[in-house]
Amino acid sequence: MVERLLYNILFPVFLVFSSPWYINRLIKRGNWKRGFWERFGFYSKTTIESLRGKNVIWIHAVSVGEVNIALQLLKQLQRVLPCMTFVLSTTTTTGREVLHRNATGQMAAIYYPIDLLFSVKRALRIINPKAIIIMEAEIWPNLIWQATDRKIPIFLANARLSERSYKRYRFLRRFFCKVFDCFTLVFAQNQADVSRLCSLGVRPEKIHVVGSLKFDTVQLDAPVPVELGAIMEHVTCNRLVIVGGSTHPGEERILAEIYLSLRKSFPNLFLILVPRHFERAPQVAAELKSLGIKFVLRSTLNPKVMPVLSGLDCLLVDTTGELRHMYKFATVVFVGKTLTSHGGQNPIEPAAVGKPIVFGPNMENFEQIAHAFLAAGAAIQVCNKTELESAIRMLLNDSDKRAEIGLAARNVVIANQGASL
């Protein structure tokens, strides 16, 4: 009880001091007013009425990547539990957009409540779930404690703990052991995650290794939307294409400088940059201008408004939800958040369409997945900008090597699908 008391004193204080940064971040991402009060457990009458008297399972996924996994899991649960209603929550505006695009009659999409005691209690009272499923590593003590007090089973699905996250939890091990011990069952991605979870208080008998659900989120032959396909065919026609997917600050400049260097050898080279957070597009645009790179924003294009290709170097993507389709038009793919930031981004989507993948040294959040690709010769890992340029140059020069790595990557995806069944 002492841990709970301290948390509920310190967390609101932290929230007050971090609120300027938090609010600024919400505003930058846009559309922040829609559903804002859901973050405090206040829901629309429509949402409340849709849940009244229903048997509800609540699934929480932090952002777009986890939301896609949750939606795949939802399909399987709806198949075996057709009478249940599902609430899917997320933390980000982009995650909420994806949820609303995929909403069905038996599903409500909401923002996850901030982990204040009154917000969590209100959310639990209104949603009244029969079970809660948390995706990957979203550990919010008040929700977990309050669910446990109400005897609501709480599951951790697709559970993973990177070494970096594990060290943070271990620093407050005494506190987090009492949180992790509350889970009814944990479905882990691999044995490394099992070891870390056990050391943080999850009893071994509660943990089951099922592999990564991320492999099940991709469709191997998903069609490209007609409008996007027309745009991409136009801008990439007869060109070698480098796609920088889910890039983070610093990586766009690195890729742009590599592009300028490689263009001397490959005059038909084209660059597509897809920042992980689309609201960073103005900053990325400024960097491209400073390097003299001619670019066009994705948001300005439609099949009736196409750019003049002469002299165009780059497509800067300032929209969401299209990256997985853009990978189909790539010659080489760089996976972001792996050179200048830590954690990594998902390499499975480009692998599913048979593209050669290159990523940096920082793949902590996809550690086992990265190892699977590297062991199969299905990806190339580099340590710095120089190595990245060399790897891309080699792949641009060797179509057979591109095909070999791309096929191996696709086979890794196929071999690892089925965890959600």
73-113 pLDDT tens trace = 998 999 999 999 999 999 998 899 889 888 777 899 999 99
**Structure pTM?**
0.86
- pLDDT-based confidence at 358, cuts 50/70/90? very high
Average pLDDT, rounded, for the chain: 93
**Percent of the chain scored above 90 by pLDDT?**
74
Q: What is the pLDDT of residue 419?
A: 66
Q: Which of 4-13, 25-34, 46-55 has the lowest mean pLDDT?
A: 25-34
Give per-residue pLDDT as tens, 126-179: 999 999 999 998 899 999 999 999 999 999 999 998 888 898 899 999 999 999
Query: Does position 32 have pLDDT exceeding 80, yes or no?
Result: no
The three-state (H, E, C) secondary structure of the chain, written as one string: CHHHHHHHHHHHHHHHHHHHHHHHHHHHHCCCCCCHHHHHCCCCHHHHHHHCCCCEEEEECCCHHHHHHHHHHHHHHHHHCCCCEEEEEECCHHHHHHHHHCCCCCEEEEECCCCCHHHHHHHHHHHCEEEEEEECCCCCHHHHHHHHHCCCCEEEEEECCCHHHHHHHHHCHHHHHHHHCCCCEEEECCHHHHHHHHHCCCCHHHEEECCCHHHHHCCCCCCCCHHHHHHHHHHHCCCEEEEEEEECCCHHHHHHHHHHHHHCCCCCEEEEEEECCHHHHHHHHHHHHHCCCCEEEHHHCECCECCCCCCCCEEECCCCCCHHHHHHHCCEEEECCCCCCCCCCCCHHHHHCCCCEEECCCCHHHHHHHHHHHHCCCCEECCCHHHHHHHHHHHHHCHHHHHHHHHHHHHHHHHHCCCCC
pLDDT digits 0-9 by tens, 271-317 = 999 999 888 999 999 999 999 999 999 999 888 877 777 789 999 99
What domains can you pick out in the chain, each with its CATH number? 37-217 (3.40.50.11720), 226-415 (3.40.50.2000)
